[in-house]
Structure 1
Amino acid sequence: MVSAAGAEVDLDVVTKVVTAYQDLLDSHWTDSNCSLSSCVNASSSVFASSGDKKSQRGSSFGGSSKDNRDERKDSGENPKFTQAESALLQVRDAMKDFGLPIKTAKSTIKVTDAKMNADGKVTVSVAVGTTKTYGDGDGEPSYMVDSHTLTLSPNPENLFAVVEDTIDPIPANDTPGERPTDVEFNEVPLDRILGRESNGENRPVADTAGAEFSLLPAHKEQESVGMQTVANEEKHSRPDVKKMIGYALHWTSPAVNPNPDVDVMEEQFPRFDVNCTNFASQVLLAGGWKPRDSKKIGLTDRVRDPDAWSPNAIPLVQKATHTWSAAQNLYGYAKKHSSYYDLPQGEQAQSSDLIFVDWDPDGKADGELDHTMIVTGMVPLKREKKGTPFTSFATPAISQKTKNRHNIPLYESVEIARTHGKKLDKIKWYALTSRPQ
């Protein structure tokens, strides 16, 4: 690399230093010696040279000398973290306190763009996909993929270090329809959804129906979902939980979703800038719901019809109904036309439940639901009894689109949102379940 704006960037060097940086961040998930207050292996220690490209960290590319690390440790200097690195450590510590310590974390990276700036720094766009396991490591691993913007800066020795790493923000839901007025929007406490409403503890796994679906493998072959329509007068019956979860896990899996900028879905469905509710509708379709055509005549009225539910309200332009594609419209439709009802007190979210959240703009509720998630499993928590670790509680894991999340513990998703600026005390949660009453 050379320090001139517009100059050609050595992608081999960029890829190697970003790989070394991400490997270090992956190690932070399980490194008890690295904290926000003390971490000699913070990302500021990762370097790559544009010359001989030899490692200063041994077998991995990049690193800093032991003398430099010891000098930093002895000086009492506070560690220097990138934004993404600091957020990782905050989420990691919160997960451990909650009873979900990270057991393993491994990321793949793909450099999608790199450009030299006038000041000699390099701006890099990177796709990062991370797979994690929790507690004892059993069960379906989680997977999340995000777009990162990294800044690489040279030091006097012509070594390049990652000096900043920001994660692209969570997209806001583009709500196309007005909030339904013929159903009640009943807020559900987050602690109830997580299973700790009454006493701060989570419910035993044995009492959690559907927990086994967290162990389902992702589908290797997936048949297209049929779309036979039904009459408006009928209510959707309780969906097939196993089919719902299998579909959701397949289409959010690492093998299917390597690119954070593309929501991979079946070709027959429409695409939007935000696909969370669009995908939730696909999952319900896989579970047995059938599309419901509008009886209205006008094209706009057909799309806005609160009693219709279809990805093809206007087939020639593949225009979906608002109930198919918008969070608050699906919420209203599900409560009115299906077996879904508000998650009651004394219950927690379980497989096939739907979770909605109102958290925009500015990270707080504004009266419009912004996001939809599907519960795809239950993750065992680790508690301690008389100093002996044991597993006897569980908490829900969710899957979604935009951004792609595969069986992520809901609590982790909440903590990630907090590091993105969401104000947890000003967010409103809604949860629907269809389990027999």
Structure 2
Amino acid sequence: MVSAAGAEVDLDVVTKVVTAYQDLLDSHWTDSNCSLSSCVNASSSVFASSGDKKSQRGSSFGGSSKDNRDERKNSGENPKFTQAEATILRVRDDMKEFGLPIVSAKSTISVTDAKMNADGKVTVSADIGTTKTYQGSDDPSYMSDIHTLTLSLNKENVFAVIEDVVAPMPQEEILADKPENVDFNDVPVDRILGVESAGNNQLAVNPVGANGDTAKFSLLPSHQDQSSVVVKPVLDPFFRQPKPDVEKMVAYALHWSREDLPRIEPVKSKEDVNPNYPNQGTNCTNFASQALEAGGWKRKLGVDSRDSDAWHPFSKDRAHDNRIIPTSTWGAAANLYGYAKTNGPYHDLGEKEFAQKGDLIFVDWDPNNKFDGKIDHTMVVTGTISASSPKGRFTTPRISQKTRNRHNITFREVFLHMGESGKEPKNARWYALGLK
């Protein structure tokens, strides 16, 4: 690797540096000796040599310098963390206090780009996915994010990650009018978390396995030839969607949010969606609608893509030369919320209720750090897990989603990472729909 701006960067070296760094961050999830105030194994102690190819492949490539750790321990200096590293420590501590300690974490790394800057530092783009397990559950969770890392090279030819910033959650971009004649009733976030009625909120935790082994996938287009998938659109204007088969709905959401899903060629990212559906770029609501179809909902064509009684992944957009796009009820969060209430079996989550498998969670988290009246994001509840805290023992939901990819993570983590990304969770409005 050379230091000239614009010069070619050795991705093999970069990947090894980032891997050594991420391995350390994974250990922070369970390392009680590392905190925001005291951590001799902070990422600033990780180094990796840029020596010849032989040394790069050696077992000593990347690690923590004992002299560096001892010097830091004796200096009394506060540890220096990257942004992503500090987030891990804060989320870890909050999850423990919430009653769901994280007991294991392991990440996979895909470096997508690396550029040498004029100052000799290297800017790296990487897709980093982390699989974690929680105390009391063997079912893993998974989440992936796009990271921008900065690597520094010192005069001894030693590299280190000096910053790591996670890209913010993208905003839904589908153009749709807010549905009329629909009551938008936000729900206290403690109700969704399950702590509003802690102590009286008990549910046997029996989520579908992460691999969906107990589910039948006969209704999932992903397991058939695309040409054999024939869906007759419903034309009845008084048609209402049935109560979905929750197990099939959840199995679909779990299957298509897994890390080990076979990638669609050519490989682009871990955000690939079922090829039998449109890819909207931001696919959270598109993904929720796919899960509902797997659970038994029927496609319904209407006048055009903005018909509030229609629900279909392929509809004519008469306002733009009849291009084919999903209906707003299929692909836009606020419109799916309205459709599920007026044309389906969903209702606003009420007092003394808590989110369960098959429920839908929505949020208005405008990037200006306050709600703006437009629902921005959709999540599918794919499981529940028991937690114990000073408030008592209670059941809290796990969700799966697209953009960014989340597989069966706790809703509490969604809430926490929202705060870490610069959005204030208390300034958002949360909506939750339960099944009747």
| SS in structure 1 of the partner of residue 354 of structure 2 | coil
Q: How far, CA to CA, are the matches of 1:256 and 1:76 in structure 2?
A: 46
Conservation of the 8 A alpha-carbon contact between 1:135 and 1:380? no
- Please list the CA deviations of residues 378-400 of structure 1 after superposition, one character each: whole Å capped at 9, or x if unmatched: 12224589xxxxx9532100000
Report what 2:207 is aligned to: 213
Aligned with 2:232 (options 228, 231, 239) = 228
CA distance in 1, matches of 2:87, 2:65: 26
Aligned-partner Cα distance in 2 for 1:109–1:145: 10
CA contact (8 A) 1:116 1:122 kept: yes
Contact 1:151 1:164 in 2 (8 A): yes
Query: What's the CA shift string for 1:103-122, capped at 9, x where partnerless?
Result: 11000111111111111111
* Secondary structure in 2 matching 1:314: strand
Residue of structure 1 equivalent to 2:367? 361
Please give the alpha-carbon distance, in whole angstroms, between the structure 2 residues aligned to 1:368 and 1:116. Answer: 40
CA distance in 1, matches of 2:271, 2:232: 25
How many Å apart are 1:254 and its aligned residue?
0.8
Computed over aligned residues only, the root mean square deviation of the Cα atoms, in angstroms, reads 2.4
Per-residue deviation, 1:348: 0.5
Could you report, residue by residue, the CA deviation over 1:149-199 in whole angstroms, capped at 9, with x for unpaired residues?
A: 111001232200000111111101124112112110001111111111145
**2:207·2:383 contact (CA, 8 Å) conserved in 1?**
yes
Could you say what secondary structure the match of 1:3 adopts? coil
Moved more, 59-68 or 234-243: 59-68
Secondary structure class of the residue paired with 2:431: strand
Q: How far apart are the structure 1 equivalents of 2:237 and 2:295?
A: 19
Query: Which ranges of structure 1 fall in alignment gaps of 5 or more residues?
Result: 297-301, 386-390
The DSSP-based 3-state class of the residue aligned with 1:33 is coil
Write the mapping of 1:24-423 to structure 2, written as runs, cut at 5 A.
24-51=24-51, 61-138=61-138, 140-198=139-197, 203-206=201-204, 211-215=205-209, 217-218=211-212, 222-224=222-224, 227-230=231-234, 231-256=236-261, 261=269, 263-294=271-302, 296=303, 302-314=304-316, 317-383=323-389, 393-423=394-424
CA separation of 1:331 and 1:384: change in aligned 2, threshold 3 A = closer
Unaligned runs of 5+ in 2: none
* Structure 1 residue identity aligned to 2:207: F
CA contact (8 A) 1:398 1:409 kept: yes
Contact 1:257 1:404 in 2 (8 A): no
Distance 1:327 1:104 in 2: 33
- The number of aligned residues is 417
Give the direction of change, closer, same or farther, for the CA distance of 1:226–1:279 in structure 2 (3 Å limit). Answer: farther
Report how far residue 267 of structure 1 moved: 1.8
Tell me the amino acid that sits aligned with residue 293 of structure 2. L
Distance 1:265 1:49 in 2: 38
Asked if the contact 2:367/2:423 (under 8 Å) is kept, the reply is no
CA distance, structure 2, for counterparts of residue 260 and residue 29 of structure 1: 29
For the residues of structure 2 that align with 1:263 and 1:68, how far apart are their CA atoms? 39
Describe the shift of the 1:240–1:105 C-alpha distance in structure 2 as closer, same or farther (beyond 3 A).
Answer: same
Deviation at 1:361, TM superposition (A): 2.6
Alpha-carbon contact 1:135-1:382 (below 8 Å) kept: no
Q: Please report how far the alpha carbon of residue 216 of structure 1 lies from its aligned counterpart in structure 2 after TM superposition.
A: 5.1
CA contact (8 A) 1:310 1:321 kept: yes
Provide closer, same or farther for how the CA distance between residues 40 and 266 of structure 1 changes in structure 2, counting only shifts above 3 A: same
Is contact 1:232-1:292 (8 Å) kept? no
State the SS of the aligned residue for 1:379.
strand
Contact 1:103/1:137 (<8 A) preserved: no
* Alpha-carbon distance in structure 2 between the residues aligned to 1:137 and 1:79: 32
The percentage of counterpart residues that share the same residue type is: 59
Indicate conservation of the 8 Å contact 2:358/2:382, yes or no. Answer: yes
Measure how far apart 1:262 and its partner are.
5.1
